Amino acid sequence: MDIKRALRSVHESGKVTVGIRETLKQLDKKKVKLVIVASNCPEEDLERIRSFSVPLYSYTGTNQELGAASGKPFSISTLGVIDAGKSDILALKGES
């Protein structure tokens, strides 16, 4: 799977949360199916995400690279997938 293509596709056709605050809100509501975190996501944020027992994918790039791969002009340390839309991003559930 081309992760960059999947990230752009989910942003265009699906529903995602961007950032730790919004992702945690949606995790609380049990709407997030997959969380993608940048390699430099703070450990305390990772611990909070792990407490929800939702599949977690560790993106190999930094938050700046995750933002760029998502087609955004800003850095993203945490991204929550609520609806995959036309992307195949949920295939990352089995990976870490």
Task: Give the CATH number, domain containing residue 83.
Answer: 3.30.1330.30
Q: What is the mean pLDDT of the chain?
A: 94
Confidence of residue 96 (pLDDT cuts 50, 70, 90): low
Given the structure tokens 């994918």, which residue do they identify?
57
* Residue 78 clears pLDDT 60, i.e. is over it: yes
pLDDT (mean) for 57-77: 95
**Could you give the CA distance from residue 7 to residue 71 in angstroms, rounded to a whole number?**
8
Range of the domain at 47: 3-94
Share of the chain above pLDDT 90, in %: 91
How many domains does one find in the chain?
A: 1
Task: Output DSSP code: residue 8.
Answer: H
* Residue 44 clears pLDDT 80, i.e. is over it: yes
